[in-house]
Structure 1
Amino acid sequence: MEEFGIKTSIHFGKNALEYLKKLQGAGIFIVTDPFMVESGLVERITGYLEKDRCTIFSNVVPDPPLELVIEGVKEVIKHRPDTLIALGGGSAIDEAKAIMHFSRQIGNLPDMEFIAVPTTSGTGSEVTSFAVITDREKGIKYPLVDQSLLPDTAILDASLVKSVPKTVVADTGMDVLTHALEAYVSTKANAFTDALAEKAAVTVLRYLIRSYTSQEDFRAREEMHNASCMAGLAFDRTSLGVNHAIAHNIGGKFKVPHGRTNAVLLPYVVEFNADMKEFNPRAYTRAAEKYAAIAQLAGIGGGNVRAGVKNLVREIRKMQEQMKMPFGFKDCGILPEEYQKQKDAVAQGALADACIRTNPRDVSREDILELLKRAYQGIR
């Protein structure tokens, strides 16, 4: 027997932020980054609240480190708020999740409401039980997985992503596509997660370039914001695959943005999982059939499964080119000597990553090293 449920209440569409009016009179702890404060975006949140009851913790940085989580936990225990709000991209939400989780455990604060307000369209973290925290000394990213990390409420307001710069739109958008495709071919996928993953993937293929091209295309920004959430709902149930297993370790070692890392790897991982070295129309893998189904739904499919997979890979690379993204890690600034020094550690870390367990094809150390070799050079 399988089960599918959604714990997080999702508020989206016009005036979604008005949900915050319900928090009048509550003690609020807001976890965000300095830019949200400097740009005035945090005032979009506090404007619905009683400002004298708000504490703003703006010590969020990309790839949140353990020491900032500890600092945040101390502040939450000190203020004992009724509600914790995460405002920002994946790093802010991940840091807030870890702060919330450990505050509840250490400080005995079980009744706090946890609200996530994403300001990028990429991680889907507002509806997942995952968070990634970095140990800077060891250069390792630790995925946390626990149902207690799920926000109680997610607020999707596309006006908050209207001014996101093009490079961030590209990185986060390709992250959404990777989430959707890995969830879709996961060994834990089911009919309900497939529906969410299909919708998310097709939405990205139709709207990401529009969102990248124009900040004024509100429809495209809104579609991408919703797609990010749907992909998050899917992979929270299915987990991910080798793409993320490698990306977590590349990010920890080389500081390449997570979405960009996923984008570089994605075409190679799709080809690897599809496993179509030999032409045998009777022996297509389940992953190949599902990739081809996505291509068909997006209007880029071919006459058979093989053509559909190839067209999907071609479309991913076309999108990377249109958004001026790197095709290989060499173009991300990773020096050859650093790559050679760290590749074995990356492979070892990827094999130990929990995401690899649900990859649709078994993965060996040699497979990962080959994927890394191709992805480093951008071999097409």
Structure 2
Amino acid sequence: MKKIVCMMVVLCCWASAAFGEEWEGIPLQAREYVELQTRTMSGLGIAEEPARQMLTLMVQNRFEKRTMVQAQQLVMAAAKAGLPTEPVMSKAMEGMAKQVPEPQIIAAMERVQQRHEYANRLAKSLVTEKKNVDAASLAVADSLAAGMQPEDIETVKTRLQTRTRLQTRTQTRTRTNQAEDEALVVQTMGAVRTMARLGINSPEVADIVNQALSDDYTSSDMRALGDQLASDGGKQSAAAIAGSHADSSGKGSDTQRGSGSAIGSANTGSGSSGNSSGSSGSSGSSGSSGNSSGSSGNSSGSSGSSGSSGSSGSSGSSGNSSGSSGSSGSSGSSGGSGSSGNGAGGQR
């Protein structure tokens, strides 16, 4: 019993000391104002500690009263809309730590609130369960903060909706199917966030996940792709990792597997110029080679170099006969070879 009493005394003393430091230099009237507004915010489900901390810092930084009211109203509006409030308050405290002017702090808080509002609306258009709405919404908001553009997020949303509609037409959606649909949304947006945080440009991120969805990735596949990208940490190109993952999981298309890249990465490892036509009309000097060594192998400089040079990209030899003008039969067959060798480049 004595031990419990001692512990209670220690905790009370510690809390009093911490509270005293927080209020240091703040007049009694300002303290009462902060406590009153904190209780008001708490009544809407806003966490008391960050709310009190934000308001206290504003008092300490001598913010104008109207600025404090604006900040408080932004946070309360987010709470009423069912949006996360801590990111909005954190943005305010981040601005104060950096000594950003008051109007800019309010503007930054508005952007965060709008970002989460958009993310929440998008998530609700794709999933219905609250936990999935919250998870997908947070992933979208984080992705936008990391550099994703709304138009690219929209293409991913459209692809997810299209896939769900197609599956609904071909089979009755059971509860298990619906759960998988929602899990796929969450994992897809999670993969988008991972790539955005790695600094991959927005259109490329959208291309990668849209291709994965076209290849019938499940939620488990998408999670594995996101994990693989995260563990690599940006050392390799995202397209190369996605291509390797598609090959290993058997999800990539035949063209993609043949090219060694699952998401439209042109000419990976071949160094070829990416000409899908292979031969027709290429000037026989160096432009038609597609060789990894860069040599044209065309000793005569003839104009219609055989498209077989496109197919020999790994050998560095175009195999053109001296002085040949490029017969149409040879050109046509090797042009096909060149096209398959550079399938990914032409496909995207």
Task: Name the TM-score class by shorter chain.
Answer: under 0.3
Please tell me whether Structure 1 or Structure 2 has the larger radius of gyration of its CA atoms.
2
TM-score of the superposed pair, with normalisation by structure 1: 0.26
**Which structure has the highest strand share of the two?**
1
